[in-house]
Amino acid sequence: MTLARRPPGPPQRFFTGNLHEFTRDLLNFLPRLAREHGDVAWFRLGRRPCVLVNHPDLIENVLVKNHRNFIKPFAFDFARPVLGNGLLTSEGEFWKRQRRLASAAFRADRIAGYGPDMVAATLRQLDGWRDGQTRDIHANMMHLTLDIVAHTLFGADVTSQSHEVDESLRGVLRAFGESFNRIIPLPKWFPTPSKRRAQAAVTGLNRVVQRLIDEQRRDNRPRNDLLSMMLNARDEDGSQMTDAQMADECRTFLLAGHETTALTLSWSLCLLAKHPEVLAALQAEIDQILGDRLPTVDDIPRLKLAEHVVLESMRLFPPAFLIGREPTVDVELGGFAIPQGTTIFMSPWVVHRDARFFERPEHFEPQRWAGDRPAELPRMAYFPFGGGPRICIGNGFAMMESVLLLTVIAQRWSWQLVPDHAIKLSPVFTLRPRNGIQVVLARRAARDPSRAGASLEPSTSE
């Protein structure tokens, strides 16, 4: 078979290619590429050749079937100053070893043990909520999921330092955005204000992480969280992870483990506010299954609508909306030749809204996840957690956390969007609401008034 020289794509400017549309209007640029140029669309970011791959079979080819031919793309260079050589950014044998080590903490039975901590953390968060209050629920969810990751994976409380963690995350995203916008790439050693900010962010985050490691070392009690497993793990030759490696992994898990789940919950709450009939149905299901009692991990299989809301929210607003790879050899995709070193983008934002795979793709319809319908989808038509060997290690953790948290919140509260607050998307690495999501809270009445004080009301008085 003769391969076309290269896939079709939009016109490009001489120096910058399509950098302008990519950095200024990404969430429209990507679907437009797919619509106008098909399943493999070619474009350029400065001198860097790129393709957007839009068909589930081709995505499966890259992430699953031929994953050995691909590594993480250049974009991860921007994350490396912060994440170091952690699980998200490392490659090859080193990645394999770290993944094996961390996997034990994410086995289904181990994750189930984190359930009570997740529910307890949610109750702590809800303690501060007041009837009629306006709140930025995205900021609240960021705080809550950080609390959960720190408690479950590190056996620690970092809520007093959540500002430092969040600032560091913002520092990284800003540095990433600025470097991307730069038309002429600067050498790695070249000092820039954004690099200095990113460095300050790492220093702040390292303080938090070193405290976690030091506390674990001092504490001799047997524990089985991720941090102690990593601290005690030994290679065949008896060697252990160095403090620097430990710090890389801790920063990776703190950051990767909280912001994506916070986004899933924030978008779920936002969509439910826009669709009060779905919120009412969800609350009816929760009331029927749980009454006033708190959910446990054993309830999850019956909390179907909560699960479907979470899945549908990640379909419409996938937190990791763009996944990238780079072929280490020349490859063929969809009949086109893709040279080694091309950046390959695959976007859940685009594929999840493709009418070939989802009916009425722009509509929020949690019921599309009921029954056998999901099994009829092509394998990678829905991939909020990626796929193949590098699929999100925290996917089971995140699903369980999202369903439990959404259930506890909807059991106790209703909410509406603040009318004039425009919700804008900020697509840098993840799909964030630019100015948060402001809602007005309404406390729900207890189903069984005699038990209200015991389980439904917050523990502090107003």
Scanning residues 339 to 368, which ones bind ligand HEM (CB under 6 A)?
none
Position among 40, 88, 294, 409 found at the interface with ligand HEM (CB under 6 A): 88
Interaction mask 120-159, ligand HEM, x per CB under 6 A:
-----------------------------x----------
Contact range with ligand HEM by CB under 6 A, out of 164-172, 298-306, 318-326, 358-366: 318-326
Q: According to CB under 6 A, which residues from 278 to 307 bind ligand HEM?
A: none
Query: With contacts defined by CB under 6 A, how many residues of the chain interact with ligand HEM?
Result: 24
Which CB, 45 or 141, lies closer to ligand HEM? 141
Least Å distance between CB 208 and ligand HEM? 16
- Using CB under 6 A as the binding rule, whether residue 382 contacts ligand HEM is answered as no
Q: How far is the CB of 322 from ligand HEM (least distance, A)?
A: 9
Among 331, 398, 410, 441, binds ligand HEM (CB under 6 A): 398
Q: In whole angstroms, how large is the CA radius of gyration of the chain? A: 23
Candidate residues 115, 384, 427, 433; the one interacting with ligand HEM per rule CB under 6 A: 384
320 binds ligand HEM (CB under 6 A): yes
Stretch that binds ligand HEM, among 24-32, 197-205, 394-402, 406-414 (CB under 6 A): 394-402
Where does this chain bind ligand HEM (CB under 6 A)? 72, 87-88, 99, 149, 252-253, 256-257, 260-261, 264, 319-320, 323, 384-386, 390, 392-394, 397-398
